[in-house]
């Protein structure tokens, strides 16, 4: 098995849509360790609908749409990161975090701690809106400080070439492409946009290096 981690600079930036496209492009299996919020379609349901690929059960499925530690506490539960090992699957596993890197799982551990323990290559999703330079560079610094291998940055939103270039220059990160906001969000439309916009070959190369390491 080989694995990729998809994380973001913030919540609601489109990393689940990106994850669906990635799972589809790599013929991979998807896993969301912790789902906080059940009022709407879950991330796993979105990925299953858009990718048509296998989706594993969440490690924790929590009702409240909040930070995982708060959602868990509202149900009298404590998330144990030691129970969240990367599942063993045939082929590629795409594991998606919640919110950003510094989101707490419990009162002692952050998502970043979990990613560092896993040691799998990380793709960082960043929106192209105002503030993204600061958020993305801080996220890259945090990932590298924790020893996480970074594949590169995927941008989501309208084109901002100067901003994207600045982030990749200062962050010394590969530009993995920009996924536009799709007017019609269907499996076919996502696949077409992904093929046209995302550097899947660079992602596959990072996976191959990880398998050889």
Active site residue 141: no
The binding site for Mg(2+) comprises: 16, 43, 96
Asked if 92 and 207 count as a contact pair (C-beta separation under 8 A), the reply is yes
List the catalytic residue out of 32, 108, 141, 172.
32
Cα angle 142, 146, 147 (rounded to 5 degrees) comes to: 120
How far apart CA 95 and CA 107 sit, in angstroms, is: 22
The binding site for ATP comprises: 12-17, 43, 96-99
The binding site comprises: 12-17, 36, 43, 96-99
How far apart CA 47 and CA 24 sit, in angstroms, is: 9
CA distances from 83 to 39, 59, 87, 111, 144 (A): 25, 8, 10, 13, 24
The binding site for substrate comprises: 36
For the annotated catalytic residues, the residue numbers are 32
């Amino acid at each position: 098995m080989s694995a990729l981690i998809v994380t973001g600079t913030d919540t609601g930036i489109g990393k689940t849509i990106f994850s669906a496209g990635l799972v589809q492009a790599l013929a991979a299996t998807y896993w969301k360790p912790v789902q906080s919020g059940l009022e709407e379609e879950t991330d796993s349901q979105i990925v299953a609908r858009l990718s048509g690929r296998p989706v594993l059960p969440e490690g924790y499925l929590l009702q409240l749409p909040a930070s995982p530690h708060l959602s868990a506490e509202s149900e009298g539960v404590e998330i144990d990161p030691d129970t969240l090992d990367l599942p063993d699957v045939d082929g590629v596993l795409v594991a998606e975090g919640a919110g950003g890197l510094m989101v707490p799982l419990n009162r002692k551990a952050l998502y970043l701690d979990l990613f560092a323990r896993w040691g799998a290559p990380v793709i960082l999703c960043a929106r192209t809106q105002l503030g993204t330079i600061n958020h993305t560079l801080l996220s890259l610094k945090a990932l590298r400080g924790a020893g996480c291998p970074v594949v590169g940055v995927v941008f989501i939103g309208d084109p901002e070439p100067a901003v994207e270039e600045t982030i990749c220059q200062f962050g010394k990160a590969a530009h993995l492409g920009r996924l536009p906001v799709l007017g019609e969000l269907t499996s076919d439309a996502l696949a077409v946009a992904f093929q046209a916009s995302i550097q899947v070959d660079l992602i596959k190369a990072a996976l191959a290096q990880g398998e050889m390491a």
